[in-house]
Amino acid sequence: MLQLQKQVAAVIKEYNLFRANDKVLLGVSGGPDSVALLSLIFDANRVIPAYSDIFIAHLNHLIRGKESEDDAQFVNNLAKKFKLSIVTERRDVKEIARDSKMSLEEAAREERYKFFESAAKRVGANVIAVGHNADDNAETILHRIIRGTGIVGVSGMKPRRKLTPFSTIDLVRPLLFTWRKDIVAYLKEKGLSYRVDSTNFKTDQFRNRIRAELIPLLEKNYNAGVKRSLIKLGETATQNYDFLEAQAKDLFKKVLLNIEGETDEILSEIVLDIHKLKEVPQILQQIIIKEAIVRLNIPLKKLGYKNYKNILSILNYQNTPVNTVVKGYLNIKIEDGKLHLSKEKYYIEESPVLKEAVIKIPGETSLVDMNCRIRMEIREIENGFLEGFKRSRTKYDEAVDFDKISMPLTVRTRRQGDKFWPLGSTGIQKVKDFFINNKIPVLERDTVPIVTMNGQPIWIVGFRIDDRIRITKETKKLLIMGAKGSSLLMA
């Protein structure tokens, strides 16, 4: 018992989890971790006062019916036993999960932290302490590895962090380096009872299968100390990421163009210097973009690896203006060497990347806005010309039946409602669906030139022509279409 108390006290001191004037809110579910947290923090403060006040917070998720009600009563009795004030609340997490289309686990976590924040404000607490332990951290790291994650996800949980990026409330985890078995042994020695969540034993939940099946399998057949290895990986990743993040935050100030962004407040827009951004490694570029997203108060979990990859792809390889939206949360505009990021829309429909231009036939049409050229040539089918063309063509060259062409042809970028009949497909489809089906990144879709006839697309440059202008046995004259330019490198 004394050993665990010393260990937790050492963690509190090393990570400066509490200060003398802190008001601490303890998240207590009634489970072994939270009961141990309550007991340890309460006892530590009696011996050497580390903070001015302690409060208890309990959220009834209403997930397990009578079990949930019994949990709430159990925690209320704990509050009386320790003579501490308690804040309780009831939220129907199942209904919230259905309405918000989230998993039950995700909704429960989100509502729990929302409750903790409101409860902390209600009692004036500036620190929230929760009972995550070393096993939880190892399981979290493995869970993220399996699902797919980067260096941040592998870092696992932190002993101390801001509740939200701009919050004045800290979230701390005093038991983060304590193993579950030691917590249970401590409670037994102290004679403290606790509640057991029956849903923890249901293996229909992915996280529970990791705890109940995968980790025991790894411990038995591969590495008895796999949890310690995962924790070590997390610590190493944290050290590496902390270094990279510090570098990126310094660079952020250098690439930032709008003065208001120098503050730590939530901003409406951030403007970054693309030329300076390109000079740093892409891992730092990504962290700089992440810093901008944080300052815009957009939840980081809303954007995934592919979103960052698309942004960096456009940033580093696209030479034409861009105006697009990422997953409905982040609005991006790239022009004049500047990257504009905002929660507000930049009105794509009012500022097209490429204004519609009539194409010279035959001849070459320069698209200044997109730094590329469209070339048209009329040829007869004779002397094996078509066979030679097919052998030497690139993805930016096409041959179509000239007699099926109605002039003038124009070139522009996509518009809402555009449709065409992709060569080889069964019928007409929306250009939007074509882009999705062909996995064309969202941030590139507004930069793809489209050749049109009678207002409708006939060639998505670099991808597909319309089936209705294809060459057949009856074709006598060809229209050779080609495109060149640095802006087509990523198409």
Over residues 418-429, the pLDDT tens digits come to 999 999 999 999
What average pLDDT does this structure show over 235-258?
93
What average pLDDT does this structure show over 286-308?
86
How many Cβ atoms are within 10 Å of 471's Cβ, its own excluded?
17
More confident residue, 362 or 313: 362
Q: 262-280, pLDDT tens digit by residue? A: 566 677 889 999 999 999 9
Q: Which of 142-156, 241-255, 281-295, 345-359 has the lowest mean pLDDT?
A: 345-359
Residue 147 is predicted with a pLDDT of 87
Task: Assess whether pLDDT exceeds 70 at residue 316.
Answer: yes
What average pLDDT does this structure show over 207-216?
93
User: pLDDT grade, residue 301 (50/70/90)?
Assistant: confident
Task: Assess whether pLDDT exceeds 80 at residue 444.
Answer: no
Among 166, 141, 165, 159, smallest CA distance to 226 is for 141
Which ranges in 256-302 belong to alpha helices (H)?
Answer: 274-277, 282-295
Task: Assess whether pLDDT exceeds 50 at residue 458.
Answer: yes
CA–CA gap between residue 215 and residue 227 (Å, rounded): 8
Residue 285 is predicted with a pLDDT of 94
User: pLDDT grade, residue 261 (50/70/90)?
Assistant: low
Residue 179 is predicted with a pLDDT of 96
The fraction of the chain above a pLDDT of 90, given in percent, is: 58
252 CB-contact burial (10 Å; exposed 0-12 / middle 13-18 / buried 19+):
buried
In this structure, the chain runs to a length of 491
Mean residue pLDDT of the chain comes to 88
How many Cβ atoms are within 10 Å of 376's Cβ, its own excluded?
19
Answer whether the bond into residue 362 is a cis peptide, omega within 30°: yes
Complete domains list, the chain, with CATH: 2-227 (3.40.50.620), 256-350 (3.30.465.60), 357-488 (3.50.40.10)
Question: 172 in helix, strand or coil?
Answer: strand
What average pLDDT does this structure show over 26-38?
96
Q: Which two tokens stand for residue 208?
A: 């529970």
Q: Which two tokens stand for residue 343?
A: 């929660």
Q: 326-370, pLDDT tens digit by residue? A: 767 788 888 788 888 888 766 544 445 567 899 999 999 988 777
User: pLDDT grade, residue 26 (50/70/90)?
Assistant: very high
Q: Which two tokens stand for residue 10?
A: 């050492």
Residue 48 is predicted with a pLDDT of 60
Residue 488 is predicted with a pLDDT of 66
| Most trustworthy range by pLDDT among 20-24, 154-158, 301-305, 486-490 | 154-158
CA–CA gap between residue 33 and residue 28 (Å, rounded): 9
The fraction of the chain above a pLDDT of 70, given in percent, is: 91
More confident residue, 75 or 330: 75
